[in-house]
Amino acid sequence: MVSAHKSKFVISVIFALSIILVRGAEAATLTLVPEKKTIKIGEEVSVNFKVDTGDESINAVQTTMQFPTAVFEVTKIDKADSVFNFWIEEPTFSNETGEAKFMGGTPKGISGKSLQILTLTFKARGSGSGEIALSDAVITASDGKGTNILSRAEGITLTVGTEILIPSSLPAGTPTSAQAPIQPQKVERTAIPASKLPMAPIVKVPLYPDTTNWYNHLGETIALWGVPDDITMVATVLNQNPNTVPTVAEKELSTGKNFGTITKEGVWYVHIRFRNNIGWGSTAHYKISLDTTPPLPFEVKIDNVASDNPTPYITFNAQDAFSGVSHTLLFVDGKKVGETSTTTALLPVHAPGIHELLVKVFDRAGSSMEDGLQFEILPLPTPAIEFISKSVSQGEVMFASGIAIPNAFVDVRATNSLQQEVFTGVTQSDGSGNWKITIDKALPTGKYGLLVRARDERGALSVASSESFFNIRPKIILSLGRFINLGWFEIFIIAMLIIISGASVIAWWYVAKKKTHEAYKIIIGRDLEKLGTLLSSNLKELESLQEVHDLNSSTQAIACVERMKETISKMKKYIGEEVKKLT
């Protein structure tokens, strides 16, 4: 009892969520399918409530139906053949307000083109046409999210009395030309005489085009045939007897007949034969197989709910009442992993962890029933890396070793600093669990991580080990003693440092020399200025002595000239030495 209340609570929550969820995966359709569309006052008509789930599986439906109380009244609601097995809100109706409503579901997902929800029986109590409309409709997908996948809710219009049938209006944007079936045409002409009995008609039923298939959708069953020039009458009948020979001719000769909607499941036959001036010919029997009910509910069982076996074995007892089971699809974690035509299956290898299994059984008509469970794959003991070459040069072999379960495969994986896989390999542990591997693949310089995972002959896996790291350094070109090993890169760097250092010394020498030259230029300029001052002073002295013409003045003039010669001689020597310093 507690379980039932819990299920109802869960479905109620799903309905509440579905109303506010954005319709991102609209696919399902609600329809009303009457056994006939024209009735008389006081006559009853059954209207089936159907769901087309499209390509989705559903687990719940709710809606409200409105009908004109002046034309109809509801006398009964029958849920005996419903695909739903519990009701959050029992089907109810009111002939005062003109409403009928329900909220039902199933704990297991189902799919189909014409799933039976319930049957309403209407009684005509007034003439005219009356529309039975649908509103507040929700169809929830069995996706664990309560997604509302309703795309369209189609009402119907029934006619009571002699008024012309008014078709139900379709939602805006619904194409009508593609949905309109081909209608039979009346044949009016004079038949030509025949010399033998007519052959069996060649019959086509567009809604059910293949007599060998099962179908899970309902609609107006229109049979079509060609009428030869000698035919005067046609006799038809629709029933579930494969050998019936129709004897009553139709009132009019036509190219087909609308038999209405076949609402009862099972195998049906359209029987048709022609008559000409010779007599009645042989009968054509057109087979129509209908199965709108999904397979029966079932339970999936697994050999171990939790074990280290990576390929669990599952069983399920799937059955279908009409068309039979066609095939079963297997899904794990939302991905298809297999298909079977039996009621047992061995799942493919799965990694350690908790997984969701979904088994979806289809009947030959395309409807489905599903069930699922959760199972866990336990990991093998985790291997360990006990030694790894921490640093190797390019071209050298990297070595690693460790311990794992005895006689197991050890999958080795190396990644670079960007977590990109650069190496994968497999080794085996011995009877004591020891394993080792060498990596001789040429890898670019850089830092790498190494992970290992154990795997047995069944395909069972452990979780990955802790990551160990190693470095690939440039190849050694020059070795200087025991501790200094130089590769091309190090040699290049050292050469560049030497070049840069030499260039720096030359630049310093050039700058220093340039500064020295500037200093000497200043000194020479200063000394030349002194020389000019001294010579100028001597010249002025000579000019003054030139004006006096005695022996003493001549002697002084001669001395002054001698001093000037001595000064010029010294400066000549000095300037020569200074110029040498500048070159």
Residue pLDDT tens, the chain, 583 long: 434 444 444 444 444 444 434 344 568 999 999 988 889 999 999 999 999 998 899 999 999 999 999 999 999 999 988 999 889 999 999 999 999 999 999 999 999 999 999 999 999 998 888 899 999 999 999 988 889 999 999 999 999 874 433 333 333 333 333 456 789 999 999 999 999 999 999 999 999 999 999 999 988 899 999 999 999 999 999 999 999 999 999 999 999 999 999 989 999 999 999 999 999 999 999 999 999 999 999 999 999 999 999 999 999 999 998 999 999 999 999 999 999 999 999 999 999 999 999 999 999 999 999 999 999 999 999 999 999 999 998 888 999 999 999 999 999 999 999 999 999 999 999 999 999 999 998 899 999 999 999 999 999 999 999 999 999 988 765 555 555 555 555 566 676 777 777 777 777 777 666 666 676 667 666 766 676 676 667 666 666 655 555 556 567 666 766 776 677 777 666 666 665 665 6
**34 contacts: CB under 8 Å, gap ≥ 6:** 45, 46, 47, 48, 156, 158, 261
Domain 300-377 class, CATH top level = mainly beta
pTM of the model: 0.70
Q: Are 433 and 426 in contact (CB under 8 A)?
A: no
Beta-sheet pairing, 72-78 with 38-39: unpaired
For the beta carbon of residue 309, count every other beta carbon within 10 angstroms. 18
CB atoms within 10 A of CB 230: 17
In 3D space, the residue among 270, 274, 314, 317 whose CA is nearest the CA of residue 289 turns out to be 270
The confidence score (pLDDT) of residue 161 equals 77
Residue of 98, 83, 9 whose CA lies nearest to 51: 83
Q: Which two tokens stand for residue 512?
A: 């220093």
Domain ranges for the chain, please list them: 2-160, 203-290, 300-377, 384-473, 491-582
- Spatial strand order of the sheet with 468-473 comes to 391-393, 468-473, 446-455, 409-415, 421-428
SS3 97: coil
Q: Which pLDDT belongs to residue 314? A: 97
Which CATH entry fits the domain spanning 384-473: 3.40.50.720, 3.30.70.1350, 2.60.40.2550, 1.25.50.20?
2.60.40.2550
The pLDDT of residue 13? 44
The fold adopted by the segment(s) 2-160 is Immunoglobulin-like (2.60.40)
CA-to-CA dists, residue 63 to 30, 66, 91, 101, 139, angstroms: 9, 10, 10, 6, 9
CA-nearest of 321, 371, 358, 362 to 341 is 362
For the domain made up of 203-290, give the CATH fold: Immunoglobulin-like (2.60.40)
| Consecutive H or E run containing 516 | helix 488-546
Q: How far apart (Å, rounded) are the C-alpha atoms in residues 412 and 386?
A: 14
